[in-house]
Homo-oligomer: A and B are copies of this chain.
Amino acid sequence: MPCSPQVQVSRLIEDRLLWILAMDEKMTPLDCLLPSGKQRICLIILNQPLDKDHLHILWSKALLRACADGAANHLHNITAGDRDSFLPDYISGDFDSITAEVKAFYADKGCKLIETADQDLTDYTKCLAIMVEEIQKRQLQGSHRLEVNTGLEGDWCSLIPVGGPCQTLTTGLKWNLNNDVLQFGKLVSTSNTYEPTDPGKPRKAVTVTTDQPLLWSMGIGKNGE
């Protein structure tokens, strides 16, 4: 059925408007630097002198943290005295900037080193591609994010592999699992609790990445308990 030009134009506008609304990107750019900010972030550090305040707040919030090549030198330098609290999930790049000493340090600590030799793309682009892949991988592995900040939470929690072995990765627990296999007779996480937070700070969410169904249970405390 032929449409009058106006109807056609209207539909066109509708489609575009619908597209724009679907595309609507509400964004608070500086939320990530706000201690009270709610955005969930991942962090990539580039090869530049680092701002310590920015580093600390972004690091504390980030679900994943990575260095692009020589960024690891800056990180190593600026975190002297507390380096174990600032271990990146991975360092990627062509490794022409990172020093041998820094590279060995983070390798010993278990940080992934991913060499990306492609010369058409910058270290940053390649680092970002890996970051996206890692986020996606964790999502595909069934990543759960449990908010435990209602105020009703008790003081215990557990992960019990009732159905069978589960390879499990967690954050936000006092005793996290680092791709360990939970299995009766081998390792079961009971009497766990939440990662301690500074007084007045909200509790971080517990994230659980699992390849099999995994039973989460938690205590319920009453007000005042």
Contacts and interface: CB of A to CB of B under 8 A. Distances in A.
Interface of A: 5-6, 9, 12-13, 16-17, 19-20, 23-31, 33-34, 37, 92, 104, 107-108, 110, 112-118, 120-122, 125-126, 128-130, 132-133, 135-136, 139-154, 162-163, 165-166, 169, 179, 181-192, 205, 208, 210-222, 224-225
A120 B5 contact: yes
Contact of A34 (B27, B122, B146, B150): B150
B28 A147 contact: yes
B121 A214 contact: yes
For this chain, the copies found in one complex come to 2
Contacts of A166: 162-163, 213
A116 B219 contact: yes
A147 B26 CA distance: 7
User: What are the 3 A-B residue pairs with the smallest beta carbon separation, nearest first?
Assistant: A142-B191, A28-B147, A113-B222
B215 A185 contact: yes
B214 A143 contact: no
Contacts of A182: 154, 219-221
Contacts of A130: 216, 219
B128 A220 contact: no
Contacts of A5: 120-121, 125
Nearest to A13: B132
Given A34-B150, A148-B29, A184 B220 contact: yes
Given A26-B205, A190-B212, 16 more contacts: A5-B125, A6-B121, A12-B129, A27-B144, A27-B145, A28-B146, A28-B149, A29-B218, A30-B150, A30-B220, A33-B220, A107-B225, A162-B162, A162-B215, A179-B220, A182-B221
A216 B90 CA distance: 15
Contact of A215 (B13, B165, B214): B165
Contacts of A215: 118, 121, 162, 165, 185-188
A24 B145 contact: yes
A27 B213 contact: no
